[in-house]
Amino acid sequence: SYAGAVLGIPLSGILTEYLNWQVAFYFYGVIGMIWSVYWWHFSYERPAIHPKISESERIYIEESIGEASSIANKKKTLLNFLD
The model carries a pTM of 0.58
Give residue 14's pLDDT band: very low, low, confident or very high (50, 70, 90).
very high
Q: Closest Cα partner for 47 from 38, 39, 37, 57? A: 57
Question: What is the C-alpha radius of gyration for the chain, rounded to an integer number of angstroms?
Answer: 20
Cβ–Cβ under 8 Å, residues 38 and 31: no
Q: Summarize pLDDT for 26-57 with one digit per residue, the tens.
A: 999 999 999 999 999 888 888 888 888 898 98
Contact 26, 12 (CB under 8 A): no
Q: Which of 23, 20, 43, 21 lies closest to 31, judged by CA?
A: 23
pLDDT at res. 12: 94
Q: Where are the domains of the chain?
A: 25-67
* 16: pLDDT strictly greater than 80: yes
